[in-house]
Amino acid sequence: MIVLRRRPQLAEDVAASIRQQIVTGALEPGAFVRIDETAAELGVSATPVREALVSLRGEGLVEQVPRRGYRVGELSRQDVDDIFWLQGTIAGTLAGRAARSITPEHLDRLTALNDGLRDAVARSDTESVEYYEFEFHRFVNKIAGGTKLAWFLLGAVRYTPRLYATDKRWGEDAVRSHEELIEAFARRDVEAADDVMRRQFRQWDIGAESTPS
């Protein structure tokens, strides 16, 4: 179970953590998510866990069993594909918007973040890999504008880098993807920026292929 580090009191953070565990198969279909145990593992009170599970029930990821609690629902391979497709579509749209308003200062910041990621991958520093990957995408979304779309995407993918941070090949692929994105931004190529971002999310989808169908 992932221990939360940012604003642990928020139900959205708890929901994002549990959601990613379900999508990647860390929590298997039929497994019960115990409120007290989950709260202890995440370092939060029971209230945000309970609120998160209600939210996830609305998404169809968990189901409430009378007198037993919340159980992970069946999640097919197609369901997983659809989730990553949706995330990639949102991320691509935001990258396209960012390409229209990119500045030299933005490019410098993105390059610095990607350099940090490259160094972290080379050192197998998983905590730094997680940080730089998240910050890179957060900054792209900031350039695109502080929209609800960006807020939704960050909530959905906040813990994805942490799940793959130990995979050096994944990290190297992420660095190359970021390089392509920065080049597209420098050209103000909206279509290319959209395409690069969607392809990175498809790579995340490949990393989740062990999910039962």
For residue 207, name the pLDDT band (cuts at 50, 70, 90). low
pLDDT at 212: 41
Q: So where are the chain's domains?
A: 11-72, 77-207
Residue predicted with more confidence, 33 or 152? 33
How far is residue 83's CA from residue 129's CA, in Å, rounded to a whole number? 23
Domain boundaries 77-207, corresponding CATH code? 1.20.120.530
pLDDT at 102: 98
CA distances from 67 to 42, 54, 70, 117 (A): 23, 15, 9, 46
Tell me phi and psi for residue 62, to 5 degrees.
-130, 160
pLDDT at 213: 41
Residue predicted with more confidence, 70 or 2? 70
Lowest mean pLDDT among 85-94, 115-124, 142-151, 178-187: 142-151
Contact criterion met (CB below 8 Å) for 24 and 163: yes
According to CATH, the topology of domain 11-72 is: Arc Repressor Mutant, subunit A (1.10.10)
Beta strands 69-72 and 62-65: pairing type?
antiparallel
